[in-house]
Chains A and B, each alone.
Chain A
Amino acid sequence: MRVQKFRSIEEMNKAPVRESQEPPFERFLRQCARYWEIAPKRYPRGVFKFRTIEEAQKAREKYPLLNK
């Protein structure tokens, strides 16, 4: 069933979502590849070290998008 119709958002939210037959990790890899196509970033090279996970997470914000 390619098209479903709903009378309300509530009805739409209750509709069952079709489960993919593809293994979930394969879907994950595909999703990551698609994300990279949409928003590629310019990463530095090499090894960086952090005292805390918060420090590591903050560093992520500094990686610029390639097309900016």
Chain B
Amino acid sequence: MDRDEIIRVLQAFEAAGLEYVLIGAAAMGFHGLVRATEDLDLFIRATPENIERLRSALRQAYDDDPQVDEISSADLLGEYPAVRYFPPTGDLYFDVLTRLGEVASFETVDTEIKEVQGTKVRIATPLALYRMKKGTVREKDHVDAAALKERFDLKDET
């Protein structure tokens, strides 16, 4: 994962006006809980206009990669709420979600704005990340949830 590439993508998201929120390890990283990952996970607002903004941003960041056009509104708004895009650079990928089962979507995740190199980045709050991660089946998510809980003194809701 190349630093400049990530910054370029985040800048393209902002320039395109993409409504998104970073979740997963990148969001954890912004909160100071640093672990490596292979991908950037993001929720986007599930509208055709916003999905076009996503395509536009990725085309901008990846030299008009024609494969970006395969990211379709019909899929993301229909029966495929998770789409994975592998850019030509080949050392990372993007998981784009419009919803996470019944647990979360762009509209339901609490967010905050951080800044990296003058670019505003919307990320899930520690509590929102904790809520998403504590209920999954992945061991890695349980470790993340435990780390979030300890670092931010989060309480389980009843």
Chain A residues in contact with chain B, CB under 8 A?
A: 23-36, 40-41, 43-57, 59-60, 63
Contact = CB atoms under 8 A, between A and B. Distances in A.
A24 B80 contact: no
B104 to A, nearest CB: 10
> Binding site of A, secondary structure by majority: helix, strand, loop or mixed?
helix
Interface residues of B, number: 44
Nearest to B75: A49
Contacts of B68: 47
A47 B67 contact: yes
A47 B84 CA distance: 6
Contact of A31 (B32, B36, B67, B84): B36
A49 B79 CA distance: 9
16 contacts: A24-B29, A25-B26, A26-B3, A28-B34, A29-B6, A32-B1, A32-B37, A43-B86, A45-B88, A45-B90, A48-B83, A49-B75, A50-B80, A51-B80, A52-B101, A53-B97
B134 interface: no
A52 to B, nearest CB: 7
B114 A56 contact: no
B74 to A, nearest CB: 10
Interface in B88-122: 88, 90-93, 95, 97, 100-101, 114, 116
A51 B1 contact: no
A51 B36 contact: no
Given A24-B31, A43-B86, A57-B138, A36 B91 contact: yes
Contact of A49 (B25, B80, B91): B80
B79 to A, nearest CB: 6
Given A33-B2, A53-B97, A46 B82 contact: no
